[in-house]
Amino acid sequence: MRATVIHAPHDIRVEEVPDPAIQQPTDVVLRVLRACICGSDLWAYRGESARKPGQRIGHEFLGVVEEAGPGVNGFAVGDLVVAPFVWSDGTCTYCAEGLTTSCTQGGFWGSVGSDGGQGEAVRVPFADGTLVKLPAAAASDDRLLTALLALSDVLGTGHHAALGAGVKPGSTVAVVGDGAVGLCGVMAAKRLGAERIIALGRHRSRTDIALAFGATDIVAERGEAALAAVRELTRGEGAHGVIEAVGTEQSMRTAIDIVRDGGSIGYVGVPHGSATGLDLDAMFDRNIALRGGVAPVRTYIPELLPDVLDGTLDPSPVFDLAVGLDQVPGGYKAMDERTALKVIITP
């Protein structure tokens, strides 16, 4: 089969690799219908996170079960399913507590020795604990299928950030980051009842999506000017909650600067760079809470799925460029150059 591999920074290729096969009784083999490129994939593409030459890449996908091991109870050949970006056994204490990303037998797609999602097929370990079944009719609805793909990562990650930021009815929320996760954070904050949602971003195509997703205000300024703008919108106090969806030192400093005393920061931007941007003295003095991390999206999918199916949530606009599998290297280039927000792949 064909799959996407990374050989070096800016060296993404689509190559022939061995077909996946059942290795354990709890495995399934999944034929990929839709996959996509994540902003966190760009850190490997840019050389900011290490990868071995020839390593698979990609962790967001959905598809159809082609083969199921004898120990799989919840799925059968032909089922349409979505895969969260981490596989998990569904039985360990962490899974029982909803922290599926800490599963003792879990792992990330594209890690050494595993399949990546940007390919024609994937071997899925612990299928019963990992996959979520989707209505078969969704396979013939392109818009819905695209929206459902967001459940594999960005929608659940935005939800995780909103929970970490303590979003509740009537609250004011600021969102740092205008990528797909930040935009889904806007949508999640709206769903949780935020009254005012301030999106920080300078790109009109992205801030238009933020407004469509529920943002009430756009702050295009940066640095001290952005801080002043948020303060002006919040009577000088700052936001009750801040979603940090970038992962740089500057974005974290901005989040701390614009959060209200006693407020919370929900951080889901994958940290990269030489420093965290945390000012622990300021956070201590101002009673700022910091919550977040790797989103356990497998836990959130059952909660979010009905809203996607009935159209209450439609994250499909974050996918603004579609490519075939052979065009994936160009998709990486487009996202790296910010000419695309999020690339969807149709193998």
Q: Which of 152, 183, 126 is nearest to 62 (CA)?
A: 152
CA distance 199 to 210: 7
Percent pLDDT > 70 in the chain is 99
CA distance 60 to 145: 13
Q: Which residues partner with 31 through β-bridges?
A: 64, 121
**Which of the 8 DSSP states describes residue 119?**
B
pLDDT tens digits, 41-72: 999 999 988 899 999 999 999 999 999 999 99
Q: Is 272's pLDDT higher than 80?
A: no
Confidence at residue 271, expressed as pLDDT on a 0 to 100 scale? 84
Q: What is the pLDDT of residue 223?
A: 87
Which residues in 228-346 belong to E strands, given as ranges? 239-244, 259-267, 289-292, 321-324, 343-346
Q: How many CA atoms lie within 13 A of 335 on its CB side?
A: 30
Quote the pLDDT of residue 41. 95
| CA 50 – CA 178 distance, rounded (Å) | 25
Task: State how beta strands 28-36 and 343-346 pair.
Answer: antiparallel
Look up residue 90 and give its DSSP letter. S
> Which uninterrupted H or E stretch holds 66?
strand 61-68
How high is the pLDDT of residue 277?
66
Tokens of residue 221, six digits: 């300024």
Q: Residue 302 carries which side chain, given as an amino acid letter?
A: P
Locate CATH 3.40.50.720 in the chain: 157-292
Q: Pick the closest to residue 248 from 270, 215, 281 (CA basis).
A: 270
Backbone angles phi, psi at 239, to 5 degrees: -85, 145
pLDDT band at 102 (very low <50, low <70, confident <90, very high): very high
Name residue, tokens 């990609």. Answer: 58
- Residues 292-328 pLDDT 10s: 999 999 999 999 999 999 999 999 999 999 999 999 9
Residue 246 pLDDT level (bands cut at 50, 70, 90): very high
Q: Which DSSP category does 195 fall into?
A: S
Among positive and negative, which fits the CA dihedral 306, 307, 310, 316?
Answer: negative
Looking at the chain, the whole-number percentage of residues with pLDDT higher than 90 is: 93
Q: Under CATH, which architecture does the 2-153+296-346 domain have? A: Alpha-Beta Complex (3.90)
Identify the residue whose tokens are 């009815």. Answer: 169
Of the CA atoms within 13 Å of residue 217, those in its CB half-sphere come to 20
Digit-coded pLDDT (tens) for 306-316: 999 999 999 99
Three-class DSSP category at 215: coil
Q: Which CATH class is domain 157-292?
A: alpha beta
Q: Alpha helices, DSSP H only, in the chain?
A: 41-45, 93-96, 127-130, 142-149, 154-164, 180-191, 204-213, 223-233, 249-258, 280-285, 297-309, 328-336
Residues of the chain with CATH 3.90.180.10: 2-153+296-346
pLDDT, residue 279, reads 84
Q: What one-letter code names the amino acid at 316?
A: S
Shortest CA distance to 299 belongs to which of 126, 132, 82, 98? 98
Angle at 295 between CA 132 and CA 199, to 5 degrees: 115
* Residue-wise pLDDT tens digits, 158-205: 999 999 999 999 999 999 999 999 999 999 999 999 999 999 999 999
Residue with tokens 């459902």: 148
Q: How far apart are CA 3 and CA 17, in angstroms?
A: 7
Q: Hey, what amino acid is at 231?
A: R
Considering only the C-alpha atoms of the chain, give the largest distance between any 2 of them, rounded to a whole number of Å. Answer: 61
